[in-house]
């Protein structure tokens, strides 16, 4: 076998393997496997969000939206939540962080039927927008709260 043919085959294999976990490779995205199905994961997630004193602003059921226009999509449900006390310190440093706030979490099911919960890493968002040292405590608190919420929503 020629070296160029071998390189092409290896490139195809590498690309195919990387498609299996698209969310795991995304910069700034934290993805956790859930022990529950999509509906139960979302119910647990919303309960944990509310238990932390956060406001649920919206749900976006992407699968229902797809169905409404005659398309199929596995369960893909977004929840938008937060509070001004947590987000404002970041926006005081860089108002552009408002494009990423309120916080969002996505509950989705992959092609193998596994349910996942994904959310943006607050430290990544802070870096993306150049949020400075004065907001470090807010970023740390947000990171801890999101981790706790996601863990309780996905673990048995």
pLDDT band at 80 (very low <50, low <70, confident <90, very high): very high
Contacts of 43 (CB under 8 A, 6+ apart): none
* Cα(31)–Cα(124) distance, integer angstroms: 14
β-bridge partners, 109: 115
* Cα(101)–Cα(81) distance, integer angstroms: 8
Element (H, E) at 148: helix 136-154
Assign 3-class secondary structure to 51-116.
HCCCEEEEEEEHHHHHHHCCCCCCCEEEEEEECHHHHHHHHHHCHHHHHCCCEEEEEEECCCCCEE
Which tens digit of pLDDT belongs to each residue from 62-71? 999 999 999 9
The full set of domains in the chain, from first to last, is: 22-154 (3.30.310.70)
* Cα(78)–Cα(58) distance, integer angstroms: 8
pLDDT band at 22 (very low <50, low <70, confident <90, very high): very low
Which tens digit of pLDDT belongs to each residue from 46-59? 999 999 999 999 99
pLDDT band at 118 (very low <50, low <70, confident <90, very high): very high
Answer yes or no: are the C-beta atoms of 79 and 48 closer than 8 Å.
no
């Amino acid at each position: 076998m020629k070296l160029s043919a071998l390189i092409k085959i290896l490139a195809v294999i590498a690309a195919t393997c990387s498609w299996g976990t698209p969310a795991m490779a995304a910069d700034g995205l934290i993805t956790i496997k859930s022990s529950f199905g999509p509906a139960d994961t979302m119910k647990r997630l919303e309960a944990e969000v509310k238990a932390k004193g956060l406001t649920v602003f919206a749900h976006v059921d992407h699968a229902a939206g797809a169905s409404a226009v005659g398309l199929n999509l596995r369960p893909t449900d977004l929840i938008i939540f937060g509070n001004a006390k947590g987000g404002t310190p970041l926006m005081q440093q860089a108002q552009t962080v408002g494009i990423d706030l309120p916080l969002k979490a996505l509950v989705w099911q992959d092609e193998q039927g596994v349910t996942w919960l994904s959310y943006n890493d607050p430290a990544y968002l802070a870096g993306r927008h150049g949020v400075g040292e004065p907001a470090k405590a807010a970023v740390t608190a947000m990171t801890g709260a999101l981790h706790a919420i996601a863990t309780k929503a996905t673990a048995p």
